[in-house]
Chain A
Amino acid sequence: MSESIVVENASKRFTMQYTKTIKQMTIAALRRQPLSDSFLAVDDVSFTVEQGESIGLMGLNGSGKSTLLKLISGVMRPDAGSVLTRGRIAGLIAAGAGFHPQLTGRENLFLNAAILGMSEAETKRKYDQMVDFADVGKFLGTPVGHYSSGMAARLGFAVAAFADSDIFLADEVLAVGDRPFKRKCMRRMEEIKKEGRTLFYVSHAPGSVRKMCDRALVLVNGRLGFDGPVEEGLRFLQYDDSETDSDDDLGADI
């Protein structure tokens, strides 16, 4: 009775559409070109996560990590199988929050918090913490469309990290932040972990997964290739060989 995320035989099929308007479709049909093609981005994946576990989700580019996170957050629905979660979910998917470029940072903060289920009073209570964390200074009053990608990521992470949630999803949070911000994110995620929230962390950086997670999942072309201890997961992915230049120097890690 303490499962936080239960995924059973979940699959997600994507259609690669070649055409977008009726005109293009007609032309493609006349030329007997295929209108679409499909593939499984998440293929028959099953696992169970207990409340408070921290999971490192790894895999090569395009292996379906962000897609799996979208299934868990409810942005997408599985075409087969089921995904069940318990409690409120917050987090970042594919390095960014759902910001509206025309709105200012402050307005986006309130909107985002409301979407995460926070009331106006709750948001006001957490406002200072979020703003301090994001640390975008005077740009809080300018449209997010003019933010640098790092600034947008900071604000997005700040809102998600201070919203009340039972499950925290973090996809490539460290990808665009600078070094001080990465440190801050790692510290915040450790706090989140200590608070007993379920953490789902996507990263290509072995060091941070080692540090944050007690269990690793590895996706291989949409299938769950590995589910177990972090070290073995890294070995499975061959991310652990030390003769290659260390990721810490590549800046993907801290």
Chain B
Amino acid sequence: MVDPSRVPDVPLTAPGDSGGLHNVFRQRYLLRLLVRKELKARYQGSVLGLLWSYVQPAVRFLAYFLVIGVVLGQQRGVENFAIHIFSAMVMVHYFTETFSSGTRSIVRNKNILQKMSLPREMFPVASMLVSAYHTFPQIVILLVGVVLTGWSPTPYDVAAGLLGFTIIAVFGMALALVFSAANVFFRDFQNIVQTFSIFVMWSVPMIYSYERIENLAGGTVWEQVYLANPIANGVMLFQQLFWVPTVPEGSDLPPVMPDDLMTRGLVVLAVCLVLLALAQVVFTRLEAKFAERL
């Protein structure tokens, strides 16, 4: 009765065993569709659409620059303060977007997850890619700004910038994985993440320079605590690419960065990759109950 030619030439497997993050990148076509879907969903019913992703950072930038730079006079202490603040803001924004939209991604796609079987990591990964997509135009604006100011980066600076971006992406992804899963069980997590996101910009050298931290806590354990933050490392590495090379040689206000920025960055990246692997383990534990809890 069984037609042997119709029996698929594969072994019996447990259905829905997705195989984790690396499988996500094997199904690139599906990932692309999901990214497109996210982009569309985010700007549904809005006339300006993607323009909003420029308007918000622009307004925020102006507010910080005017209030903290001009009114509070930070500008006088930091060369090219506008670039200092904007380059940090691009990374902070990328991180908080990845983290908060990633955290909501599983719950937001419950229609699909309750009915179909696919690697569930797809959704936080798609959120991270959408955030990166939004970051790209901001980087273009930043590029225009630094070129106009006078910018001569060395290969070291370029490597630092790429490393910074990667750290932010990996760290954001690790947190988004864990929190997107936790959010299925308690929706409070998305609010916790929102609250935490407000705090992020104060924890990195954005509206103040790293020089301040060094003057305040240089050589103490507090400096190490500050530098243990992957986001701060990502931001400073990114500033090493965009802000530091705009400061002219022999300026009265030479840029201050931690001595071993690059080495530290590599260590931080390694730690973030370990965190990502742990996040994958947690996610795999929790995802077994997604469909019934959504």
Which A residues fall within an 8 A CB radius of B? 1-4, 6, 14-15, 17, 20-22, 50-53, 70-77, 82-89, 92-94, 96-103, 107, 110-112, 114-116, 119-120, 166, 195-197
Contacts and interface: CB of A to CB of B under 8 A. Distances in A.
Q: How large is the interface on B (under 10, 10 to 19, 20 to 34, 35 or more residues)?
A: 35 or more
Contacts of A96: 115
Contact of B33 (A3, A74, A97, A110): A110
A115 B111 contact: no
Contact of A102 (B40, B114, B186): B40
Contact of B1 (A52, A84, A101): A52
Contacts of B30: 111, 114-115
B1 to A, nearest CB: 7
Contacts of B282: none
A99 B114 CA distance: 10
Contacts of A74: 14-17, 117
A71 B291 CA distance: 10
Interface in B242-294: 288, 291-293
Interface in B3-55: 3-8, 10-17, 27, 29-30, 33-34, 37, 40-41, 44
A107 B7 contact: no
22 contacts: A6-B12, A20-B187, A22-B188, A51-B7, A73-B15, A73-B117, A74-B15, A75-B114, A75-B115, A76-B291, A77-B14, A87-B8, A89-B15, A89-B117, A92-B115, A94-B115, A97-B116, A100-B109, A100-B111, A110-B33, A111-B33, A166-B8
B68 interface: no
B158 interface: no
A83 B115 CA distance: 17
What is the interface of chain B mostly: helix, strand, loop, or mixed? loop
A82 B292 CA distance: 18
A86 B112 contact: no
B256 to A, nearest CB: 43
A200 B8 CA distance: 17
B32 to A, nearest CB: 9
Contact of B113 (A20, A77, A98): A98
Contacts of B116: 73, 75, 97-98, 112, 115-116
Given A2-B7, A74-B117, A75-B116, A100 B37 contact: yes
Interface in B111-153: 111-118
A52 B6 CA distance: 8
A87 B10 contact: yes
Nearest to A196: B6
B3 A101 contact: no
B280 to A, nearest CB: 17
Contact of B112 (A92, A94, A100, A107): A100
B2 interface: yes
A73 B116 CA distance: 8
Given A52-B1, A86-B7, A101 B111 contact: yes
B3 to A, nearest CB: 5
Nearest to A73: B117
Interface string B215-256: 000000000000000000000000000000000000000000
A206 to B, nearest CB: 23
A94 B292 CA distance: 13
Given A22-B188, A114-B30, A83 B14 contact: yes
Report which residue of A2, A72, A75, A94 has the largest number of chain B beta carbons within 10 angstroms of its beta carbon.
Answer: A75
